Each structure stands twice: as structure tokens, then as C-alpha cells.
Amino acid sequence: MKMQLTEIANAIGIEDVPEHWAAITIANVEFDSRKVRPNSLFIPLQGQRDGHDFADTAIKNGAVATLWAKDHTNVPTDYPALVVDDPLEALQNLAVYYLGKINPKVVAITGSNGKTTTKDMTASLLETEYNVVKTEANFNNDIGVPVTLLNMNANTEVVIVEMGMDRPGQLDFLSKMVQPDTAVITMIGEAHIEFFGTREKIADAKMEITDGLKDDGLFIYNGDEPLLRERSKQVDQEQYTFGDSAADNLFSSNVQLAKNHTDFEINLVPNKTYRIPMIGKYNVMNALAAIAVAKAYHVDPAKIGDALSNFQITHNRTEWVQGNAGEAILSDVYNSNPTAAKEVLDSFSHTDTEGQRMVVLGDMLELGEQSDEMHVSLSDYLDPKLISQVYLVGNHMKALAQALEAKYKKEQIHWYTVEQEDQVIKDLQARLTKQDEILIKGSHGIHLEKVLAGLKDS
């Protein structure tokens, strides 16, 4: 991003600006005063604390101007302050303006599971042919999406926007903001079912990603999901499906699982094996979604294999790391829901190991009245012959602990409250050896990253 402050002011509806603002160039936007870089425009947002209280700090850290809500008094006079009705709305309007100015192709990706991995895979494939910008970290909401757009350089040809949701209407807003050329839905699961009630309503909300899809756009989705197949009939734009079935446009076969990678073939390129540096058949589905996008953007097929096998995985998404005792840790602590947990448990249960397999599972949040039942459903994916020790953290995991008593010995099941992470670490340190493997997975709100850090750093 590189714009004069006067252009930014005009873009968000401020016409009467001082002449000297034309000499001020903005290189980036930032809403966290601690992360401000030189020549930033500071965006004071209202959260648990009021961002306006940190404007002076942002300026000291390198910002050269700030937005300012008109209902806040004491407008700064020592540095440029652009007075607006709502700083968040102004940020979003600026992003729409800048998107129109740069005019890249827009790929929008959502799904109950896999959207971040699919985003990373898609970026790796498209980067072989285009200048690409993608959503960083978890910037996938009404704040993160406009920040992603404003992080584009002038030469950006494709921007890949991850979109999350926790309420109806959210994807409708984001999709209409970015006007995607390509919309992708990875799958429908139970994430956020507390707010939606049923998978059908989750599917309805996910389909909102097509609300802003350009008339000549492309809708790519998992064709093995009946809820998406049914709802796709309401989409007029071109469609392309991926999955396990020969009824899909793109489907996988001969999937071979290994500890550190997964191999597979696809129907479009016979007798060629593709490899992803991740565990699990479910990640093959994410790769198929990325390949479908690459095909739509005419990426050289010869480049797809290398790009997939070398793509960079976002931190803590089914990532193997080494623990202090030499054990192999499969870190998947960013988030969790029943579908994702079952998939990774199934894959982890069949890895090659000379020692024992153990799991640490944290509560899966936002499951509502069905929470205990959905936690208990993980019992079918925990086999004492394959996973010898089960460590469970959180109130809802207590229901799973009780269900496991029917198949596990008492000394193999360990339950903790969320305040007992230190005890979890101590108990694991007393048991783990360098031959062992351990999976750590839970919703971000349970903070199992503390357990991960304890095993790595002790």
C-alpha cells in the first residue's frame, strides 16, 4: 500500500483537507498501536479498550496520521486526524476503494474446517504464476479482511481472502465487500453450531460467500457434501466440484498416508502422484480445492506438484514439532470441532511409531446444547490398542472421559480443568519418551498452546 493522505481522506468521504497532507504518504494501516510501523495510518477501534486512547502511542511508534470518531472529543491537533463517523466503517470503505484501484483477481475461501490450509496451498500454487497476497494469521473477519486488502502492493495480481464467520450475515457482508472472482467452500461441519443450531443453517451461512460473487465468477465447493450440492442450485455462476467421488469434477484416488506427508493421485492427471507435507486424508480435500483454483487460473500443471509439496503451513495446523524429551508432537492447537477432531484422530492413530501414541484433547467450544454429546462422539475414534493414554482438558471433555471408561483402564484416562495446564505438562513429562508421539488439539479458547510450549521449552 502506498497512498497520499489526501487520497485516503477523499476515499472515505473527507473533501476539505489541509494542503500539507498531500506531502504525507501512508504505507500501511494498523489498529494495534504496539505493531505500528513507520508511515502507518492508525485505526482506533472500539474493543475491550478504546483505540483512541492509544493514538498518541501509535504516533510515537511511527504512525503519521490517525482516524478519529466524531463522537470522541479532544481531536488531536499535533498530528493529522481524519474525523469519521465510524473508524471501522471508514477502514472498510478505504479497503473497497483500494481494491478497486489495484484491481486484482479475488479468491475468497471459507469452510468449517480447512480454510486456512486451503488458503496456504492455494497461495503456493498461484505464486508460481502471479504476484499473490493472502490473508495472514487469522485476519478473516470484518477487521482482518479490509486489512488484508490494504496490505496489497500495487503489483498484486491475485489476493486470497480467508473468510470466517460466527453469525448469519457475516459472509454476506464480507463477500459483497470483496466481490470475489472465485468463491471456495471447503466443507460443512459443526463449528459454531451453538449460534446456528443445525448443520443446515451453517450451510446456509457458508453459502453467503457467493452473495458478492461476480456474475462471471466461479464457485468451487466440496461436491461430496449434500448440503452444498442442494444449495448450489441457487447459484447462477459457473461451478466446479472436488471430492472423493467420480461424480465430482476433480477427485482423488490412491491416497497413501505417512507420518509426515500424504500422497494421492487425481483424475485429471493419470499416473502422477502428488504429495502434501501434512498428515491426513482430510488435507487431500484441501489440496483438491487449491488445485481447482489453480486450474481456473491456468497454472502450469507441471508446477503444481512441487508447489504443493513445498507449501508453508500456517503455525499450529497439524504441524509436527519435537518435544523436549525427543517425542514427536502433532500440534493442532489453533482450533477444534468434532469433524476436525475425528479426522485428525483417525490419521494420528495410524502413524508409524516405535513408542506409544498419546493424545491431549481440549474442549471444543461453541457447540451449544449438543456439546457433551458431540464430545462423547469422539470415543469412537479413540482405541486403546492404538492410543495408549488420553489426557482431556475442560468441562465438556469430562463427558468423554466418563464414556471412555467402557474401553480404557482407569489409569489410561486423565481429566483436568482448564486451570490445570501446569499439571498436564508435569504428568506428560513424567511419561513421555523419545519414541513416543503425542497429538495436542483443542479450541483456541482452551489455550492448549501453553501445554505445547511447556513440552517444547522445559
Does residue 114 have a known ligand-binding role? yes
Q: Find the mean pLDDT for residues 41-62.
A: 96
Question: What cell was used for 326?
Answer: 525427543
pLDDT at 317: 72
Q: Find the mean pLDDT for residues 77-89.
A: 96
| pLDDT tens-digit series, residues 32-41 | 999 999 999 9
pLDDT at 34: 94
Q: Find the mean pLDDT for residues 361-374.
A: 92
Whether the pLDDT of residue 316 is over 90: the answer is no
pLDDT at 262: 94
Closest C-alpha among 189, 10, 181 to residue 94: 10
Question: What is the DSSP-derived secondary structure letter of residue 147?
Answer: H
Does residue 117 have a known ligand-binding role? yes
CA distances from 358 to 212, 329, 372, 441 (A): 45, 10, 22, 11
Instruction: Give the chain's mean pLDDT.
Output: 94
Question: What cell was used for 299?
Answer: 497454472
Q: Find the mean pLDDT for residues 412-417.
A: 98
Closest C-alpha among 325, 286, 331, 273 to residue 436: 325
Which residue ranges form the domains of the chain, and what is each CATH number? 3-85 (3.40.1390.10), 104-309 (3.40.1190.10), 319-457 (3.90.190.20)
Query: pTM of the entire structure?
Result: 0.91
Rounded percentage of the chain residues whose pLDDT exceeds 70 = 99
Closest C-alpha among 105, 308, 111 to residue 221: 111
pLDDT-derived band at 72 (thresholds 50, 70, 90) equals very high
| pLDDT tens-digit series, residues 180-203 | 999 999 999 887 777 888 899 999
Whether the pLDDT of residue 335 is over 90: the answer is no
- Continuous segment of H or E residues that includes residue 19: none
Closest C-alpha among 316, 329, 335, 358 to residue 458: 329
The answer to whether the beta carbons of residues 18 and 38 sit under 8 Å apart is no
Q: Find the mean pLDDT for residues 278-301.
A: 95
Whether the pLDDT of residue 458 is over 50: the answer is no
Phi, psi of 4, deg, nearest 5: -70, 150
The answer to whether the beta carbons of residues 443 and 335 sit under 8 Å apart is yes
pLDDT at 191: 75
State how beta strands 182-185 and 238-243 pair: unpaired
Residues 6+ apart with CB under 8 A from 46: 69, 88
Whether the pLDDT of residue 130 is over 90: the answer is yes
Report the C-alpha gap between 346 and 68 in whole angstroms: 51
Q: Find the mean pLDDT for residues 133-153.
A: 94
Q: Find the mean pLDDT for residues 361-366.
A: 93
pLDDT at 138: 81
DSSP state string for 277-339: SS-SHHHHHHHHHHHHHHHHTT--HHHHHHHHHTPPPPTTSSEEEE-TTS-EEEEE-S---HH
Report the C-alpha gap between 312 and 287 in whole angstroms: 13
Phi, psi of 277, deg, nearest 5: -85, 50
The answer to whether the beta carbons of residues 190 and 149 sit under 8 Å apart is no
Q: Radius of gyration of the chain from Cα atoms? A: 24
Q: Find the mean pLDDT for residues 366-377.
A: 92
**Locus of grid cell 470522541:** 72
The answer to whether the beta carbons of residues 125 and 307 sit under 8 Å apart is yes
State how beta strands 269-276 and 262-266 pair: antiparallel
Report the C-alpha gap between 5 and 220 in whole angstroms: 39
Say how many Å lie between the first and final Cα of the chain, rounded: 42
Closest C-alpha among 295, 289, 272 to residue 221: 289
Rounded percentage of the chain residues whose pLDDT exceeds 90 = 85
pLDDT-derived band at 457 (thresholds 50, 70, 90) equals low
For the chain, what percentages of helix, strand and coil (3-state, to nearest 5) are there? 40, 20, 40
Does residue 111 have a known ligand-binding role? yes
pLDDT at 247: 96
CA distances from 42 to 49, 65, 70, 219 (A): 15, 6, 15, 36
CA distances from 224 to 249, 298, 413 (A): 11, 25, 36
pLDDT at 414: 98
